[in-house]
Chains A and B, each alone.
Chain A
Amino acid sequence: MTNAPVHIAPPADHGDVRLTTLQRIANLRAWLFLAFLIIGFEAWSRIDFGGSFIINPYNLQSIAIFAVVPLIIATGQTFVIISGGIDLSMGFIMGLAAVVAAHTINWAGETMSLPFAVLLGLFAAVLVAMIPGYVNGLLISRLRVPPFIGTLGMFGVARGVAFLLAGGTTVPVQNSFFSALGNGKIWNVPYIVIIAAVFVLLMHYLLSQTKFGQHNYAIGANEQAARRAGINIRSHILRLYVLSGACAGLAGFIYSARFSAGAAQAGEPLLLDSVAAVVIGGASLFGGSGTILGTVAGALVIAVIQYGLVFINVKPFWQFISVGVVIIISVLIDQAQRQYGGGRQSE
């Protein structure tokens, strides 16, 4: 038996990879939902009122304004969910930030120019919101507390501190510049919608075009692989929760601009809306998948349902039912994709 290296001709391997039809549909599902909803409301509106639902600047503005605050929270939540975590504290961090923004703007407005006081309020809101985010990050990355539990604890802490700082529930703001920012518009586009659009683009860039975003996907898919590839998981997770805190801070600032008041309970219903937007937008709660653009569609789906049902005079309780049904359908599609779509999961 000689040992001439037997050169086995390797079988030519044409990795034949195509996205299955199911995968394609699943990736677009939020936009399909959105189109479906708009068509539905449009038909209802034309039959019932003889007017258009969507080709109506007032309706478009209202839907966009409805979507702004939940969307900003949801972009931060998208990052966290892709990494395989969840941030339950965002709603009350937002309330905390709204109260801090209101107090700061009132306080600074006594001595400084109104726009400068507002700017100071923005910084205060975002910085204060980063503190609970940082603590979340420490708990999860250093002390290995599961995200669900760590941020649930912070949910309570932020809620308590927000109510304590507010002294009751609502802190009214006396600042004409602030209310103009929250309610004014240019060429029929509200300022806060422009702010949200710029912010969403920034978050889209961060997720899809930077190392931070790429590492976020890798950690969500296979944390061990990411660690072996030399990614510093701890510092990534820490920065991640600071980021989601900062998003809640910006959302709180915009909320208080819109209503010229900081309310501790402002974000209470927004937490679940944000998770819903992310899930409807195509992210998996198991981590590893999701996009900012999907989340935009998810947030719009919720806003259209909420506004559209009011528009066609349906009892508001139907909102909860419809949003709930859409969430369940989204998760079912995600499961189907997992099973049949070739989306192989790590054992």
Chain B
Amino acid sequence: MSDTPLLEVRNLSKNFGAVQALKALSMQVRAGEVVALAGDNGAGKTTLIKAISGVYRPTGGEILLKGETVTFASPQEAREKGIETIYQDLALADNLSIGGNIFLGREPIRKAFGFLPVLDRKKMADAAKDTMALLDFHVSRMDAPVSNFSGGQRQAVAIGRAVYWNAQILIMDEPTAALGVPEQRKVISLIHQLKTQGRGVVFISHNLQDIFAVSDRIVVLRRGVQAGERRIADTTHDEVVKLMIGG
């Protein structure tokens, strides 16, 4: 694992007025690696991912993608560079199909009768089917609106959209928070799929069980600074909790 990390954050800080939400934080994510961010409320996890995904402009420090320094003026720019955020509240349009959601804002157009531009629904449905199959999610009716799906399936659609647009880094904010236990397991297995496809995943969770089930490393934040970084194999629940609360 000597190659350059997919994503590297060096000495990143973010101030809101006099409040220092993030102080000189550094971390790395390699291809095929799942890094968990843990910490109490207000520890700076959300600030960190918002800086990485282009929502906030960092006050100091730098972000490197595959070794190159990048700055993002907007989440769109971050997305174009391959950083996709899966939001907790699921950014899906419930009344559209899986394909409609994957292609939302970037719909493919074909010419009907050789001249009339129309939405290429077949292309959307085919791409949706292939993408969801990559995530081991098989749907019989591609034209059904996503409101008909369960929470875990909808989470899979949101991830599918990122996968289709070739996101290299997926940032997931509490992806299991609103789900039942079988659905949580489904999301965990989705994260495993992303990992085997060589993508990097940054994963925020309050659930240590989930973190230990899926992550390679854990970065613990406390009051805007890094309280510790451990390989999951070398640590325990107790140690992580102690790092979080500063025991």
Which A residues are within 8 Å of any B CB, using their own CB?
Answer: 1-3, 5-19, 205, 209-211, 214-215, 217-218, 220-222, 224-226, 228-231, 288-289, 342-347
Contact = CB atoms under 8 A, between A and B. Distances in A.
Nearest to A17: B144
13 contacts: A5-B196, A7-B192, A8-B189, A11-B182, A11-B186, A13-B138, A14-B138, A15-B141, A15-B153, A17-B139, A214-B104, A221-B93, A225-B104
Nearest to B187: A10
Interface string B150-190: 00010010000000000000000000000000100110111
Contacts of A210: 117-119
B210 interface: no
**For chain A, what secondary structure do more than half of its interface residues adopt (helix, strand, loop), or is it mixed?**
loop
B242 interface: no
Nearest to B215: A3
Contacts of B188: 8
Interface in B76-93: 76, 79, 87, 89-93
Interface string B134-156: 01111111001001110001001
B138 to A, nearest CB: 5
A81 to B, nearest CB: 13
Interface string B88-106: 0111111110001000111
B4 interface: no
Contacts of B119: 209-211, 214
A158 B32 CA distance: 61
B231 interface: yes
B93 A218 contact: yes
B213 A6 contact: yes
Contact of A13 (B90, B93, B109, B136): B136
Contacts of A7: 192, 196
A345 B94 contact: yes
A225 B93 contact: yes
Given A3-B216, A13-B186, A222-B92, A229 B144 contact: no
B32 to A, nearest CB: 9
Given A217-B96, A345-B94, A15 B186 contact: no
A288 B94 contact: yes
B44 to A, nearest CB: 23
Interface residues of B, number: 51
B111 to A, nearest CB: 11
B195 A5 contact: yes
A231 B93 CA distance: 12
A5 B185 CA distance: 15
Given A220-B95, A228-B87, A19 B192 contact: no
Contacts of B216: 3, 5
Q: Which of B90, B92, B135 gathers the greatest number of chain A CB atoms within 10 Å? A: B92
Given A3-B231, A226-B105, A217 B95 contact: yes
A222 B189 contact: no
B232 interface: yes
B91 A17 contact: no
Contacts of B106: 229-230
B1 to A, nearest CB: 13
Given A224-B91, A228-B91, A230-B76, A214 B107 contact: yes
Given A13-B136, A226-B105, A214 B193 contact: no
B5 interface: no
B19 interface: no
B60 interface: no
Contact of B147 (A13, A18, A205, A344): A344
B139 A14 contact: yes
A218 B104 contact: yes
A222 B104 CA distance: 12
A15 B137 CA distance: 7
Cβ-closest 9 pairs across A and B? A3-B233, A10-B189, A229-B105, A15-B139, A218-B93, A17-B144, A229-B104, A225-B91, A209-B118
A214 B140 contact: no
B95 A221 contact: yes
B192 A226 contact: no
Contacts of A228: 75, 87, 91
